[in-house]
Amino acid sequence: MSDQVIIFDTTLRDGEQALRASLTVKEKLQIAFALQRLGVDVMEVGFPISSPGDFESVQTIAKEIKDSRVCALARALPKDIDAAAQALKVAEAFRIHTFISTSTIHVESKLKRSFDAVLEMGVNAVKYARNFTDDVEFSCEDAGRTPIDNLCRMVEEAIKAGATTINIPDTVGYTLPSEFGGIIQTLFKRVPNIDQAIISVHCHDDLGMSVANSITAVENGARQIECTVNGIGERAGNCSLEEVVMILHTRKQRMGLATNIRPVEISRTSQLVSQLCNMPIQANKAIVGANAFSHSSGIHQDGVLKAQNTYEIITPESVGLLTNKLNLTSRSGRHVIQHRMQALGYRDSDYDIEALYTSFLALADKKGQVFDYDLEALLFFSKVNDQPEYYKLENISVLSGSGLVATATVTMTIGDQPKIVEAATGNGPIDAAYQCLMRITGLDINMDNYHISAKGEGKDALGQVDIVATYKGQRFHGLGLSTDIIESSAKAMVHVMNHIHLAQAVAEQKKDRLNIDQV
| Residue 136 pLDDT level (bands cut at 50, 70, 90) | very high
Write down which residue in 341, 359, 386 finishes a domain.
386
Does one domain contain both 271 and 321?
A: no
The three-state secondary structure class of 212 is helix
Q: Which residues pair with 138 in a beta bridge?
A: 98, 166
Does a structural domain hold residue 516?
no
Left (φ > 0), alpha (ψ -120 to 50) or beta: where does 425 sit? beta
Find residue 95's DSSP bridge partners.
71
Non-local (6+) Cβ contacts of 499 within 8 A are 371, 373, 476, 477, 478
As a whole number of angstroms, the distance between CA 101 and CA 76 comes to 10
Do 88 and 106 fall within a single domain? yes
- Look at residues 386, 406, 427 and tell me which one is the last residue of a structural domain: 386
Which has the minimum average pLDDT: 134-138, 304-308, 350-354, 500-504?
304-308
Residues 200/137, Cβ–Cβ less than 8 Å:
yes
Query: H or E element: which one contains 226?
Result: strand 224-227
Q: Is the pLDDT of residue 435 over 50?
A: yes
Q: Quick one: average pLDDT of 83-89? A: 97
| Higher pLDDT among residues 467 and 314, named by residue | 467
Say how far apart CA 130 and CA 237 lie, in whole Å. 31
pLDDT at 517: 55
- What one-letter code names the amino acid at 33? F
DSSP-assigned letters across all residues of 287-311: TTSTTTTEE-SHHHHHHHHH-GGGT
Q: How far apart are CA 51 and CA 508, in angstroms?
A: 64
Q: Which of 355, 386, 417 is the last residue of a domain?
A: 386
Instruction: For residue 420, give the CATH number of its domain.
Output: 3.30.160.270
Q: Are residues 271 and 302 in the same domain?
A: no
Mean pLDDT of the chain: 87
Q: Is the pTM of this model over 0.75?
A: no
State residue 204 phi and psi, 5-degree precision: -100, 165
Same domain flag for 83 and 205: yes
Looking at residue 140, which CATH number applies to its domain? Answer: 3.20.20.70
> How large is the average pLDDT for residues 108-115?
93
In a 13 Å sphere around the CA of 489, the CA atoms on its Cβ side amount to 23
Per-residue pLDDT at 294: 61
The segment with the largest mean pLDDT, out of 236-245, 262-271, 287-296, 502-511, is 236-245
CA atoms of 91 and 306, how far apart (whole Å): 52
Across 35-44, 159-168, 303-312, least confident range: 303-312
Residue 462 to residue 466: CA distance in whole angstroms: 13
Q: Is the distance from CB of 230 to CB of 285 less than 8 angstroms?
A: yes
For residue 462, the one-letter residue type is L
Q: Is the pLDDT of residue 80 over 50?
A: yes
Confidence band, pLDDT 50/70/90 cuts, at residue 282: confident
Indicate the burial class of 86 (C-beta count within 10 angstroms; 0-12, 13-18, 19 or more).
middle
Asked whether residue 283 is domain-assigned, the answer is: no
Residue 241: partners with Cβ closer than 8 Å, 6 or more residues away: 7, 9, 11, 40, 227, 228, 229, 230, 231, 261
Average pLDDT value for residue range 64-69: 96
Q: Identify the domain containing residue 23 by its residue range.
A: 6-277
Residue 1 lies in a domain: no
Residues 265 and 192 placed together within one structural domain of the fold = yes
According to DSSP, the β-strands at 6-9 and 224-227 are parallel
> Both 300 and 269 in a single domain?
no
What pLDDT sits at residue 36? 95
The 3 state secondary structure assigned to 406-463 is EEEEEEEEECCCCCEEEEEEECCHHHHHHHHHHHHHCCCCEEEEEEEEEECCCCCCEE
Closest listed residue to residue 381, CA positions, set 360, 361, 364? 360
Sign of CA pseudo-dihedral 113, 119, 124, 126 = positive
Q: Are 100 and 151 in the same domain?
A: yes
Assign 507 to helix, strand or coil: helix
Let me know whether 359 and 414 are in one domain: no
Is residue 282 in a domain?
Answer: no
d(CA 319, CA 458): 41
Looking at the structure, tell me whether residues 421 and 338 fall in a common domain.
Answer: no
Which percentage of the chain shows pLDDT scores above 70?
A: 87
Q: Which of 391, 382, 369 is nearest to 476 (CA)?
A: 369
Q: What are phi and psi of 386, to 5 degrees?
A: -90, -5
Indicate whether 439 and 301 sit together in one domain: no
- Give the model's pLDDT for residue 383: 46
The reply to whether 198 and 103 lie within a common domain is: yes
Q: What is the mean pLDDT of residues 300-306?
A: 59
CB 121 within 8 A of CB 161: no
455 and 487, same domain (yes or no): yes
Q: Virtual CA dihedral for 345, 320, 313, 221, nearest 10 degrees?
A: -170
What residue type is 336 in one-letter code? V
SS3 for 17-56 is: HHCCCCCCHHHHHHHHHHHHHHCCCEEECCCHHHCHHHHH
pLDDT of residue 384: 45
Our count of domains for the chain comes to 3
Mean predicted confidence (pLDDT) in 153-172: 98
The pLDDT tens digits of the residues spanning 323-357 come to 555 667 777 877 778 777 777 667 777 678 888 88
Q: Are 226 and 6 in contact (CB under 8 A)?
A: no
Q: Are 117 and 101 in contact (CB under 8 A)?
A: no
pLDDT at 297: 57
